[in-house]
């Protein structure tokens, strides 16, 4: 409609102009041109006939001869008639065709040339003096027939009309095309700017050059506003389950949330006829459980418990937590070989040591890799099964699922996939030894957002992608573009819930101290140090014990007065390296105990067994110091839990500089766990630290953990997902509008 109007209007204007201006102008011009032509002809005829005619008219009884002379001349088809006017102004001779209307012009008439109009066409009349030997004899009147001018003028008008109509049509068409192109460009540009789409692009990508400066300014403005809003919102929100529910309700409008992790948050284990429910000792579960309670979504995980199959419904679902069901688990079943290859093999003997710089060599087996791929595929099927919408938010957890983001992206292109990598990301040299490094990177880049604990790990990831993939790494916007898709790589330091559920109804600190010392069989005055870990070589448990030994060497006054309790939850015990660690840890504890201990005194109290979370917290409250000596750790939640547990604002945290947590908890005594001397000195410092200093440090750490709790961690990711989804919605609306406009 718009296009046809744009064509017809300029065409109609052009035709009107042709009819009222061009055609009359052409008419006038051709007439003038022919009149001038006639005058020249007439002069030529006069000159040519001057002498013979002069001689003839001088002769007496010349009429016959003059008439014959005239008849011969008017054989020329253009000369209509001839006449000769004598000196008295009387028509002496005239051809038969000489029109009555034409008279001899009076001698004083200024115009010797004029037109006589007739219905058949105009006649051109001109009078020219005839002289012989200096004597003027009269005037020759030449009448030219100009009806041919009218015919030619008609023809010319016709051709001119056609020609100009054609030109007008072509010009109108070109105008339409150009107008349409630039109009679309403008409209699209304006629309994009208004809708915010243009802001996603760099100014160079905005099609209309004149809109680029506006786009640039708007981009900057929106970025500032977003950043300001984020920081303002973030710091103003009281981060808790309600805030998360608020984001899900308002910003995500109740969108579907799915979590995928290897470990399930509740495991059903059979002991004879009794089924026991276990909560795994994992930082990941500790962090995500409260999020899931707030979201009421679906958690997809490997069903690893011996009674897991007996407790699910026919869709492999079970509602949890058992005491107050709030969300459901979808269990995925794996064969023993699959679990062996995917979990123990590729994930834990390959990727885990690859990503942690703890000097344990990664092992890569092709069979493990094949299982890893199969299992990732299986989980992506489960995600597609569970998704009730085509654009759910999928939270993919950890290094067990490096390939999953891309697989889910293929099944659910509209999904917002947030992958969180809970362990460190190494530098490109370290990562480069992985035989399937490109596949792992490409798998991860299926994510919409990829999160790490620290900026350092984000940088390592950028460097790795830069080194091994054909991708555009934009560090300013923290975005990697690969295969036409963009992944935002961001830092989301994980934390714990505040207040921790395990802290609820805990006895006062004094009572915890007594209780734990009683259970351990040590005197109430004994100073207690505490370590809480999965039994893992990255946690630096051996180095920790060596530091305790060095302390007792350097400061013998602590012998008999200080014991170090190590809670170590057995982990990945089927892997050789872990079995070896178990043996080494037990042996070292035994050696130190033999060296400095007695029947009643054990410098190292080793508890390699799973503890109830509440029990772990009782230990935190009972300890004088907590020692986190990881050789490399993504974050380390134990450090944060210890601070959270100490509502008495006492206790000292020793924290490895190689944990993500050390970037946040700077009031801890930050140590290099490899430096045994330094760590022994730090233990001594902790044991002798004045109460006031303990309080100041602990208060500051508690404030930080309270403010930057796990709800904020999840909330920031969900907020970023909401922002991204909003942008995509705006984009697709703008795209749909453009398509619609093109159709029209
Ligand atoms: C990975 C990353 C990152 C320990 N023993 C028992 C027990 N625990 C609980 C602790 C704590 C959790 O396990 C351990 O968390 P960490 O953060 O220290 O370490 P990873 O398991 O290696 O976790 C790590 C984390 O993911 C989160 O992203 O911080 O860097 O390696 O909550 O209390 N819990 C119970 N019994 C035990 O015996 N119930």
The Cα 264–Cα 319 span in angstroms is: 12
Q: Which residues are registered as beta bridge partners of 84?
A: 93, 140
Rounded percentage of the chain residues whose pLDDT exceeds 70: 89
- 584 and 444, same domain (yes or no): no
Closest ligand 1 atom, CA of 494? 28
Q: Is 188 inside any structural domain? A: no
The Cα 46–Cα 82 span in angstroms is: 11
Mean pLDDT of 72-85: 84
The Cα 744–Cα 736 span in angstroms is: 12
Q: Is the pLDDT of residue 232 over 60?
A: no
- 544 and 665, same domain (yes or no): yes
Helices (H), 555-690: 576-596, 613-622, 637-645, 676-687
40 vs 261: which has the higher pLDDT: 261
Predicted pLDDT at 401: 98
Collapsing DSSP states into helix, strand and coil, what is residue 300? strand
Ligand 1 lined by 611 (C-beta under 6 Å): yes
CB neighbours of 155 closer than 8 A, spacing ≥ 6?
Answer: none
Predicted pLDDT at 210: 61
Closest CA to 36 of 99, 124, 110: 124
Mean pLDDT of 276-299: 78
Mean pLDDT of 216-245: 65
Domain that holds residue 386: 253-455
Q: Is the pLDDT of residue 226 over 60?
A: no
> Beta strand 298-302 with 257-261: parallel, antiparallel or unpaired?
parallel
172 vs 226: which has the higher pLDDT: 172
Ligand 1 lined by 358 (C-beta under 6 Å): no
| pLDDT tens by residue, 537-584 | 999 999 999 999 999 999 999 999 999 999 999 999 999 999 999 999
Q: Is 54 inside any structural domain? A: yes
- 388 and 521, same domain (yes or no): no
| pLDDT tens by residue, 633-669 | 999 999 999 999 999 999 999 999 999 999 999 999 9
CB neighbours of 381 closer than 8 A, spacing ≥ 6?
Answer: none
Predicted pLDDT at 102: 86
Minimum CA distance residue for ligand 1 atom 32 = 283
Rounded percentage of the chain residues whose pLDDT exceeds 90: 60
Ligand 1 lined by 633 (C-beta under 6 Å): yes
Tokens describing residue 725: 């989804």
- 657 and 517, same domain (yes or no): yes
| pLDDT tens by residue, 577-602 | 999 999 999 999 999 999 999 999 99
- 419 and 311, same domain (yes or no): yes
The Cα 386–Cα 7 span in angstroms is: 54
Closest ligand 1 atom, CA of 634? 30
Collapsing DSSP states into helix, strand and coil, what is residue 635? coil
Q: Is the pLDDT of residue 204 over 60?
A: no
The Cα 72–Cα 97 span in angstroms is: 13
* Backbone phi and psi for residue 419, each to the nearest 5 degrees, phi listed first: -105, 130
Question: How far is residue 26 from each of residues 87, 160, 179, 292, measured CA to CA in Å?
Answer: 40, 8, 31, 86
Tokens describing residue 379: 């989980």
Contact 126, 109 (CB under 8 A): no
Q: Is the pLDDT of residue 207 over 60?
A: no
Length of the chain: 744
**Which of 262, 280, 283 to mutate to test ligand 1, by most ligand atoms within 8 A of the CB atom?**
283
The Cα 649–Cα 552 span in angstroms is: 27
- 426 and 514, same domain (yes or no): no
Q: How confident is the model at residue 737 (pLDDT cuts 50, 70, 90)?
A: confident
Predicted pLDDT at 196: 47
Cα radius of gyration rounded to whole Å, the chain: 50
Q: Is the pLDDT of residue 27 over 90?
A: no
Predicted pLDDT at 115: 83
Mean pLDDT of 46-62: 83
Ligand 1 lined by 283 (C-beta under 6 Å): yes
Q: Is the pLDDT of residue 187 over 60?
A: no
Ligand 1 lined by 208 (C-beta under 6 Å): no
Q: Is 722 inside any structural domain? A: no
CA of residue 611 to ligand 1 center, whole Å: 12
Predicted pLDDT at 184: 61
Q: How confident is the model at residue 199 (pLDDT cuts 50, 70, 90)?
A: very low
CA of residue 568 to ligand 1 center, whole Å: 10
Tokens 């786009």: give the residue. 215
Minimum CA distance residue for ligand 1 atom 20 = 283
The Cα 438–Cα 444 span in angstroms is: 10
Residue 196, by phi and psi: left (phi above 0), alpha (psi -120 to 50) or beta? left
Domain-ending residue, one of 412, 431, 455: 455
Tokens describing residue 242: 């309600």
Predicted pLDDT at 509: 98
Q: Is the pLDDT of residue 386 over 80?
A: yes
Q: Is the pLDDT of residue 499 over 60?
A: yes
- CATH code (residue 417): 3.40.50.2000
- 442 and 519, same domain (yes or no): no
Q: Is 173 inside any structural domain? A: no
Predicted pLDDT at 220: 54
The Cα 551–Cα 376 span in angstroms is: 47
| pLDDT tens by residue, 308-360 | 999 999 999 999 999 999 999 999 999 999 999 999 999 999 999 999 999 99
Q: Is 515 inside any structural domain? A: yes
Closest CA to 295 of 346, 222, 368, 242: 242
CB neighbours of 556 closer than 8 A, spacing ≥ 6?
Answer: none
Contact 255, 284 (CB under 8 A): no
**Which of 615, 632, 637 to mutate to test ligand 1, by most ligand atoms within 8 A of the CB atom?**
637
- 449 and 514, same domain (yes or no): no
**Which of 262, 267, 277, 281 to mutate to test ligand 1, by most ligand atoms within 8 A of the CB atom?**
281
- 616 and 530, same domain (yes or no): yes
Q: How confident is the model at residue 461 (pLDDT cuts 50, 70, 90)?
A: very high
Closest ligand 1 atom, CA of 287? 27
Mean pLDDT of 445-473: 98
Long-range contacts of 207-210 (CB under 8 A, 24+ apart): 208/182
Q: How are strands ordered across the β-sheet holding 113-116?
A: 91-94, 79-86, 135-145, 123-132, 113-116
Closest CA to 515 of 646, 642, 619: 619
Ligand 1 lined by 284 (C-beta under 6 Å): yes
Q: Is 321 inside any structural domain? A: yes
Ligand 1 lined by 422 (C-beta under 6 Å): yes
Domain-ending residue, one of 151, 185, 206: 151
Tokens describing residue 336: 């023993």
Predicted pLDDT at 286: 66
The Cα 581–Cα 737 span in angstroms is: 63
Predicted pLDDT at 532: 98
Q: How confident is the model at residue 198 (pLDDT cuts 50, 70, 90)?
A: very low
Tokens describing residue 727: 């942008």
Predicted pLDDT at 183: 56
Long-range contacts of 55-61 (CB under 8 A, 24+ apart): 55/132, 57/84, 57/92, 57/93, 57/130, 57/137, 57/138, 58/132, 58/137
- 414 and 515, same domain (yes or no): no
Mean pLDDT of 408-416: 97
Closest CA to 218 of 244, 200, 245: 200
CB count within 10 Å of CB 650 equals 15
What's the number of CA atoms in the CB half-sphere (13 Å) around residue 137? 21
Ligand 1 lined by 636 (C-beta under 6 Å): yes
Question: How far is residue 33 from each of residues 37, 110, 370, measured CA to CA in Å?
Answer: 6, 22, 94
503 vs 229: which has the higher pLDDT: 503
- CATH code (residue 28): 3.30.450.20
- 450 and 511, same domain (yes or no): no
Mean pLDDT of 91-96: 88
Q: Is the pLDDT of residue 153 over 90?
A: no
CA of residue 495 to ligand 1 center, whole Å: 11
CB neighbours of 121 closer than 8 A, spacing ≥ 6?
Answer: 145, 146, 147, 148, 149, 150, 151
Mean pLDDT of the chain: 88
- 266 and 414, same domain (yes or no): yes
CA of residue 90 to ligand 1 center, whole Å: 134
The Cα 179–Cα 187 span in angstroms is: 11
Q: Is 425 inside any structural domain? A: yes
> Beta strand 527-534 with 562-569: parallel, antiparallel or unpaired?
parallel
Q: Is the pLDDT of residue 195 over 50?
A: no
Predicted pLDDT at 200: 47
The Cα 500–Cα 498 span in angstroms is: 5
Predicted pLDDT at 26: 72
Give the count of domains, the chain: 3
Domain-ending residue, one of 437, 455, 473: 455
Q: Which of 113-117, 181-185, 499-503, 728-732 has the lowest mean pLDDT?
A: 181-185
Q: Is 672 inside any structural domain? A: yes
Question: In degrees, to the nearest 5, what angle opens at C-alpha 199 toward C-alphas 193 and 202?
Answer: 120
């Amino acid at each position: 409609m718009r296009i046809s109007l744009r064509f017809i209007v300029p065409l109609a204007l052009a035709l009107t102009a042709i009819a009222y201006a061009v055609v009359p102008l052409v008419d006038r011009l051709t007439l003038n041109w022919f009149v001038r032509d006639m005058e020249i002809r007439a002069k030529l005829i006069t000159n040519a006939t001057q002498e013979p005619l002069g001689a003839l008219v001088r002769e007496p009884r010349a009429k016959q001869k003059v008439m014959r002379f005239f008849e011969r001349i008017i054989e020329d088809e253009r000369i209509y008639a001839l006449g000769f006017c004598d000196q008295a102004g009387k028509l002496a001779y005239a051809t038969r065709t000489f029109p009555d209307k034409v008279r001899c012009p009076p001698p004083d008439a200024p115009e010797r040339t004029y037109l006589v109009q007739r219905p058949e066409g105009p006649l051109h009349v001109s009078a020219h003096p005839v002289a012989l030997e200096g004597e003027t004899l009269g005037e020759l009147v030449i009448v030219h027939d100009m009806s041919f001018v009218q015919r030619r003028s008609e023809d010319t008008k016709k051709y001119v009309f056609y020609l100009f109509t054609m030109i007008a049509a072509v010009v109108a068409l070109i105008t339409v095309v150009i107008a349409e192109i630039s109009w679309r460009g403008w409209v699209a540009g304006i629309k994009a700017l208004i809708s915010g789409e243009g802001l996603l692009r760099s100014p160079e990508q905005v099609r209309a050059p004149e809109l680029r400066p506006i786009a640039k300014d708007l981009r900057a403005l929106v970025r500032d506003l977003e950043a300001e809003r984020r920081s303002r919102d973030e710091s103003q929100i009281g981060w808790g389950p309600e805030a998360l529910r608020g984001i899900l309700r308002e910003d995500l409008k109740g969108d579907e949330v799915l979590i995928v992790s290897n470990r399930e948050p509740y495991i059903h284990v059979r002991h004879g006829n009794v089924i026991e429910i276990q909560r795994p000792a994992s930082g990941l579960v500790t962090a995500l459980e409260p999020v899931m309670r707030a979201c009421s979504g679906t958690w997809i995980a490997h069903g690893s418990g011996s009674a897991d199959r007996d407790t699910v419904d026919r869709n492999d679902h079970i509602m949890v937590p058992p005491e107050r069901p709030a969300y459901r688990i979808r269990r995925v079943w794996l064969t023993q070989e699959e679990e062996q290859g995917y979990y123990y093999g590729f994930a834990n003997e390959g990727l885990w040591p690859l990503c942690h710089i703890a000097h344990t060599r990664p092992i890569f087996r092709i069979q493990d890799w094949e299982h890893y791929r199969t299992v990732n595929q299986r989980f992506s099927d489960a995600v597609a099964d569970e998704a009730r919408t085509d654009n759910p938010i999928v939270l993919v957890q950890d290094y067990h699922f490096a390939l999953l983001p891309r697989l889910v992206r293929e099944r659910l292109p509209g999904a917002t996939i947030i992958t969180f990598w809970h362990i460190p990301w190494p530098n490109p040299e370290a990562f480069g030894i992985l035989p399937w490094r490109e596949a792992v990177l490409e798998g991860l880049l299926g994510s919409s957002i990829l999160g790490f604990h620290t900026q350092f790990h984000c940088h390592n990831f950028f460097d790795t992608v830069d080194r091994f993939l054909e991708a555009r790494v934009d560090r300013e916007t923290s975005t990697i573009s690969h295969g036409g898709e963009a992944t935002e790589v961001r830092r989301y330091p994980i934390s714990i819930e505040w207040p921790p559920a395990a802290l609820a109804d805990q006895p006062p600190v004094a009572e915890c101290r007594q209780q734990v010392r009683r259970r351990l069989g040590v005197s109430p005055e004994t100073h207690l140090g505490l370590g809480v870990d999965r039994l893992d070589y990255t946690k630096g448990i051996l180095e920790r014990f060596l530091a305790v030994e060095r302390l007792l060497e350097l400061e013998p006054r602590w012998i008999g007065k200080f014991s170090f309790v190590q809670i170590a939850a057995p982990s990945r015990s089927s892997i050789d390296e872990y079995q070896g660690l178990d043996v080494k840890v037990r042996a070292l504890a035994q050696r130190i105990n033999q060296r400095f201990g007695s029947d009643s005194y054990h410098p190292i109290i080793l508890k390699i067994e799973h503890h109830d979370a509440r029990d772990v917290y009782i230990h935190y409250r009972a300890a004088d110091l907590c020692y986190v000596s990881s050789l490399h750790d993504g974050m380390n939640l134990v450090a944060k839990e210890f601070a959270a547990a100490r509502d008495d604002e006492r206790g000292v945290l020793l924290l490895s500089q190689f944990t993500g947590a050390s970037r946040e908890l700077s009031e801890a005594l930050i140590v290099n766990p490899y430096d045994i001397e330094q760590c022994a000195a730090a233990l001594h410092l902790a044991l002798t630290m004045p109460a006031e200093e303990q309080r100041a440090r602990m208060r500051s750490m508690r404030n930080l953990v309270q403010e930057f709790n796990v709800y904020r961690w999840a909330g920031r990711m969900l907020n970023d997902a909401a922002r991204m989804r909003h942008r995509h919605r705006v984009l697709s609306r703008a795209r749909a509008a453009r398509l619609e406009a093109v159709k029209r």
